[in-house]
Amino acid sequence: MDPSHFDTDALVRSVFQDDYGLEASKLEALYSKSKRHQWNAELDVDWKEFAPDAQILDPKRDILSRLSCVQELPHETQRKLYREAAIFTLSQVLHGEQAALMTCGQLVNAVPDVEGKFSAAVQVMDEARHIEVFARYLTQIGHYYPIDPDLKTIIQQLLTEHDWEAKCVGMQVILESVALGFFRLGVEMSEEPVLRQFIGRVHEDESRHVAYGVLTLEERIPQLDEPTRQRLEDFAYDAVCKIAGRAQPSFTTQMRALQAAGVDAATFFPKLIAEFSNPEGIDFTGLADPIVDTVIPNLLRVGLVPERHLVGYLAQGFRIDLPTRTLEDVHSFHPDAKDARAQLKARGQSAARPW
């Protein structure tokens, strides 16, 4: 099978709304803002400013720069590694934007209210522009990486979901929140001139997309029956596990980036796994994590973090207090996180599936 594409069978429930009254709601205001903030990836970015020899993202803000196995590498190999890691990340962003385009196209059909359809429709245009700008950028760089298997699994599930609420949770609240966190950080981290030109614009678009999901689901989640809500809670937890990578770290696709940087994978990879498996020696100071900064806070806000998942989140290093809806990142090496993993193991469970 050609790995450059995959097919899904998606039967989307379509809701036609014979009510065109636009109320002065938050969603209508969001739609109005979206219309005013459109931009052109072809004309509003000066592509002639591309600097092929510049570092793409600030390596000091990359966790790779904190690893002993990376610091042992020759300086030029480190530089190539940071560059390929950035290309890998931007490649996953590109794939995620296509997934958002397709999912929001489905949401136009599936959401029941006309204001929601308008917001999803504008997002379809935004996502097309994001695909264009990142595809153009990676073409300038000269290559990109295939979709990560965990991201592919999430996208396949999203596209085949029958309920629009699940699509909205997976795309707007989780994947778009991850993207929002990355773009917010990218505004500070970008070193290449063309990337600096457009990443702030993408961040502004993305903030509206996340707001659409949060505003919609804040009202909808309390109306769901218990089995449906539990299914969404489990779906959200599973997606966090896959994206955060703390429950079951996966480096399958990143191996290509390591090899492209000239790293001896046979020697380097075991060291990399060892450091991530026992991260107490890693300095996390100043490193941002979209899961902590954006994803879990938004899941808390819409009501998709239940009591039954708290031990699983803690096992990954996310300490959550439900009454105050607060989150503390204690990391997976904290004694409480280790105790939580021991509790799960004693029950025949794991952080990857604590129920």
Q: What is the DSSP letter of 37?
A: T
Instruction: Flag whether 298 is in a domain.
Output: no
Instruction: Flag whether 295 is in a domain.
Output: no
What domain range is 144 assigned to? 53-279
Instruction: Flag whether 347 is in a domain.
Output: no
pTM of the predicted protein model? 0.88
**Mean pLDDT over the full length of the chain:** 89
Q: Is the Cα dihedral 295, 230, 96, 115 positive or negative?
A: negative
The Cα 22–Cα 20 span in angstroms is: 6
Instruction: Flag whether 323 is in a domain.
Output: no
Q: 32-87: per-residue pLDDT in tens?
A: 877 888 999 999 999 999 999 999 999 988 888 999 999 999 999 999 999 999 99
Backbone angles phi and psi of 320, in degrees to 5: -115, 135
| ∠ Cα 216 221 224 (to 5°) | 130
Instruction: Flag whether 79 is in a domain.
Output: yes
The Cα 253–Cα 206 span in angstroms is: 25
Q: What is the DSSP letter of 352?
A: T
Give me the number of domains the chain comprises: 1
The CATH number covering residue 270 comes to 1.10.620.20
- How high is the pLDDT of residue 251? 60
Q: 182-229: per-residue pLDDT in tens?
A: 999 889 999 999 999 999 999 999 999 999 999 999 999 999 999 999
Q: 277-323: per-residue pLDDT in tens?
A: 778 888 888 888 899 999 999 999 999 999 999 999 999 999 999 99
How many CB atoms lie under 10 A from the CB of residue 56?
22
- How high is the pLDDT of residue 3? 58
Q: Is the CB of residue 138 less than 8 Å from the CB of residue 87?
A: yes
Instruction: Flag whether 36 is in a domain.
Output: no
Instruction: Flag whether 101 is in a domain.
Output: yes
Q: 245-270: per-residue pLDDT in tens?
A: 876 655 666 777 888 888 888 889 88
Q: Is the Cα dihedral 220, 317, 96, 36 positive or negative?
A: positive
Instruction: Flag whether 229 is in a domain.
Output: yes
